[in-house]
Amino acid sequence: MSSGSGVFSPDVLARVVLTRDSGTNTVTGYVNGAQQISFNDSGSIAVFGGPNNIIRFFEDDIATGQSEASPGRATEIQIYNGALTSADVRLLGGPGEIPTSGVPEPAALTLVGFGLLSLGLVRRLKA
């Protein structure tokens, strides 16, 4: 179990990243790019899987005698196939920012060009 001082404020967006290195069993948690927690997960409690591969993002287990759940909402959940480094987490940016890495989206002009090309091909096939 981990505990600490609050880093969240009501009605303020935050980017929360939880990553696990399976080689070292180390789980590291970041809030807005700053590391907040780190622990050894030798019991694999942070491993997604189990029966039916169910992933629970919000669960108040109350077995600790404390109520960990608090009001809030998630606006986006991303899952990566591999542990993120602290540099990777910094590249994600703050809440609401577009990540500086990842798959680039096609430019608008390219999309318009493909659309016009498709219309021309459809028209030709009908003729």
List strand residue ranges (DSSP E) for the chain, in order: 16-21, 26-31, 34-40
pTM of the model: 0.59
pLDDT per residue as tens digits for the range 27-69: 898 888 888 889 998 888 777 766 666 666 666 666 666 666 5
**Cα–Cα distance measured from residue 78 to residue 8, given in angstroms and rounded to the nearest whole number:** 20
- pLDDT value, residue 46: 78
What mean pLDDT value characterizes the chain? 74
Taking alpha carbons only, the member of 116, 12, 7, 23 closest to residue 73 is 12
Q: How far apart (Å, rounded) are the C-alpha atoms in residues 111 and 117? A: 10
